[in-house]
Amino acid sequence: MRDSLYPIARELYAEHGVDTEAVLSQLASVAVSLHCWQGDDVGGFEGDGLTGGGIQATGNYPGKARTPGELRQDLEKALSLIPGKHRLNLHACYADFSGGKVDRDALEVKHFQSWIDWCKTQGLGMDFNPTYFSHPLANDGATLTHADEGVRAFWIRHGIACREIGAEMGRQLGSATVTNVWIPDGSKDLPVDRKGPRQRLEASLDEIFRKELPTEHHLDAVESKLFGIGSESYVVGSNEFYLGYAVSRSKLVCLDAGHFHPTESVADKISSVLQFVPEILLHVSRGVRWDSDHVVILDDPTKAIMEELVRGGFLGRTHIGLDFFDASINRVAAWVIGTRSTLKALLLALLEPAAKLRGLEAEGDFTSRLAILEEIKSLPFGAVWDEYCRRQDTPVGEDWLREVKRYESDVLSKR
């Protein structure tokens, strides 16, 4: 029954001037970067577990990945249930230390070669992140802004090493790696000196970014935050700091959907930021009252972000990544739900009769603009989504959930 609905949907959208065939082709060209840390609650493979950094994964659902092999196995299952060809987003604490553990300032490409090789077999690009948390030298809440020059130098070396690793990932995979810098540095209570840490952060970043890397292999991004657990009163890397830094150094700005005040619209920031920086990185997440990194759903904020990317013609300048970690539900299902919801939001945006709406707006016919925006909400978008899943050889409807349940029974429950 479901497969008979697409021809009807195609005709209805055509009445509004939308070519669903072209939309499906465009959607297939968009890669979403799946974050490795959903698979093990941001634990990593250094053996120390998650500590500090204002990061908290809640829940104890059984079956989390314990090794690189298990995490890759879970990712393969998730990717098989998500339509399209996507990417892997890896944190530095997920290094493969099968040849012996080193500290973070001594990380090399060899510690990530097994990940690169796996991505080659899967046809995936890679993105990367230095890990500035869960480490003894980050326990006091300061890394690149630390007043101790020796501690600061350690984290600078880590950032430099990660850029080199990211560039090699991009070179080997033939797709530029976005290496994103986020640090937890801040203050739980009111600081007296707000300027000093920001001066040190500027100097640290300049040192990390000193070496030019080929943009066909590597891109740098910086990510702000409003507040975090342990940094409620002051975050060094604020939106204003990183926006100024990115504009002045021509870096990518990372906009995390959970890193702003709940009443702020991330969608509204996109056209402003892209006036002054070459590209942006999005971390699509869902904050509930705070930056809680809930699994992405097809909600209004996510739809607004995708609408802005399409309406502004920004897809070619935007890197879409996910950032959530829920340990209270099946972790593979979380990847599938979050990624499919993100893609649904993008599909809805692509199905909008943009040319018609833009024309009405230019004519000053705001009545018709509002009326059509409301009418298209009832068009059979679900039939187009089902057709996309069929063409991408992935489950339609809830069929993917049965696959996850079988995987939980056969694999996850035995861990």
Distances (CA, A) of 164 to 107, 111, 246: 10, 12, 20
Q: Where are the domains of the chain?
A: 31-352
Q: Which long-range contacts (CB under 8 A, 24 or more apart) does 407-415 make?
A: 407/77, 407/332, 408/63, 408/330, 408/332, 411/63, 411/73, 411/77, 412/62, 412/63, 412/74, 412/330, 412/332, 413/62, 413/63, 415/62, 415/63, 415/64, 415/66, 415/70
CATH class of domain segment(s) 31-352: alpha beta
Query: Model's pTM, two decimal places?
Result: 0.96
Output the tens digit of pLDDT for each of the chain's 415 residues. Answer: 677 899 999 999 999 999 999 999 999 999 999 999 999 999 999 986 655 566 778 899 999 999 999 999 999 999 999 999 999 999 999 999 999 999 999 999 999 999 999 999 999 999 999 999 999 999 999 999 999 999 999 999 999 999 999 999 999 999 999 999 999 999 999 999 999 999 999 999 999 999 999 999 999 999 999 998 889 999 999 999 999 999 999 999 999 999 999 899 999 999 999 999 999 999 999 999 888 899 999 999 999 999 999 999 999 999 999 999 999 999 999 999 999 999 999 999 999 999 999 999 999 999 999 999 999 999 999 999 999 999 999 999 999 999 999 999 999 999 9
Active site residues: 182, 223, 225, 256, 259, 283, 291, 293, 323
